[in-house]
Chains A and B, each alone.
Chain A
Amino acid sequence: MGVIILDGAGGVNKANVDIDGHLNINPRPPAFGALGYYRQAAVSGSIAATLGPSTLIWSCRWGNASNLCLVQSVRVNAIVNGTITAAVGVQFNLNVLRSYSATDSGGTAVGVPASMQKMRTSMGSSLMTDWRMPTTVALGAGTRTPDTNPIGMLFGASGTAVGTTFFGNGAPQPIYSRDNSDNHPIILATNEGLAITNVLSGPATGTFVLLVQMEWGEVASY
């Protein structure tokens, strides 16, 4: 069947086609109904830089049984806020978590506050189950299964002086972002989530502040 875009009353063409025959369109995100699209940036406390390797420094859990979480981007930054004596290399990994049965522990359960972080006030409150940032030490892993390999990573260096950013940029850097509009987003179903792990041993001294910024949608189907 062909597609004909007409208005109901007079049968007039409603679509605007330019002089080269190109149909003008305005892209929209997947339909969200009573749910919505959200964006949140949250920071840790002053994390002791002496983190061990493979330590959990951020996670979120999607526990809703009726809807899906479409992750558009996860961005990360870190800045030295207590002098580090000797700089070390930094690697952060992003992993998908599956089959959550117990939420991660420790740190601050930032969550997504009701009626906030919405891209439009008329959207519904977020249904995110848990969003967790460290205070001064790593988080504790709950019961869930991370994929064997990460889906994103960032390389950097700690630097030493207060104010040094780990990834050489004041703005948080994408550890995951859709490259194009038609890239399939990360879709979190019931009891799935995401985690960022500090892969390498941290420096022997000093402290830093971690920033995680995520944009996502919550939809009934995809």
Chain B
Amino acid sequence: MPVVVQDGFPGQGAVTNLAGVDPDEHLGICLRSPAVYQGGVYRGVVTATFGSFGAGTNLFELLPVAGLPRRLALVNSVRAAVQVATTITTGVLFDLGLYIGRNTGNPAYIGTTGLISPPVPPQLQLRSSMACSTTAVGAGISGSLGTDDTNPIGRVQGFSGTAVGTQFFSPSVATLYSRDNNDNYPIVLKSGIGGDALGIETVFATPATGTWTISVAVEWSEVLAY
């Protein structure tokens, strides 16, 4: 039997079936992202250059800031690339871990090195009519990032190399998280105090000499409910 997506009001005159069913009675569908209401869908790249760090250092953070109608941030993908910026004397193992931090404190924009979102509207929206992001996305955001889970939800393994331009990962852009299919549950971060944050951390101590540049590409949406 056909699907009826009805136009009009039952019992109040003629109604029209709006659904397109092909000759084999297959309902035509179009996949959409979750409703953004007054939020939006965003994508950005953070780039920062660092030097010697210890293990467990936050390199990148995504922190939803409180405020209706953006109660949730839905993360679709996180990818990272790292390369030698100035000569490193001795190459070292270089892993990155993607962690969810829970029960965040005051989600202020504390320490904003490389911050790309906000505060420069209107940018990063995948459609200009979308609202400006209210998520802090950047490198070196510190403080109030909550308590990390014991284990990361994604990890990549690499090696620093020594010469300028050497890529730490092969291929150069490593995927820390990406939904495999469109019915996979996304990472859902709650905004505000007591909410969640997403961070990329060093797993080992970084090279003792030289500097390296990290770029993180992230796509997320800000929604009222999911």
Contact = CB atoms under 8 A, between A and B. Distances in A.
Interface of A: 1-6, 10-13, 15, 17-18, 20-29, 37, 39-43, 72-73, 77-79, 81, 110, 113, 115-122, 162-165, 168-172, 177-178, 180-181, 183, 209, 211, 213, 215, 217
A181 B155 contact: no
B93 A81 contact: yes
Contact of A170 (B21, B170, B180): B170
Nearest to A164: B159
27 contacts: A5-B5, A6-B6, A11-B9, A17-B20, A20-B28, A22-B28, A22-B29, A22-B30, A23-B20, A24-B30, A25-B30, A26-B32, A41-B98, A41-B155, A72-B184, A78-B157, A79-B157, A118-B100, A120-B187, A121-B102, A121-B190, A162-B93, A165-B158, A169-B174, A170-B170, A172-B155, A215-B184
- Pick from B7, B97, B155 the residue with the most CB of A within 10 Å: B155
Contact of B5 (A17, A113, A117): A17
Contacts of B33: 26
Interface of B: 1-12, 18-21, 27-35, 91, 93, 95, 97-98, 100, 102, 149-161, 168-171, 174-177, 180-188, 190, 195-196
Contacts, number: 180
Contacts of A118: 100
Given A10-B9, A15-B5, A28-B183, A42 B151 contact: yes
Taking chain B's interface residues, is the majority helix, strand, or loop, or is none over half, making it mixed?
loop
A43 B95 CA distance: 11
Nearest to B12: A11
Nearest to B72: A120
A13 B5 contact: yes
Contacts of B160: 163
Contacts of A15: 5, 18-19
Given A79-B157, A171-B175, 10 more contacts: A11-B9, A11-B12, A21-B18, A21-B19, A22-B28, A25-B29, A26-B34, A29-B184, A120-B188, A217-B185
Nearest to A165: B157
A23 B155 contact: no
A72 B180 CA distance: 8
Given A20-B28, A41-B155, A168-B170, A177 B180 contact: yes
A81 B153 CA distance: 22
B20 A163 contact: no
A73 B170 CA distance: 21
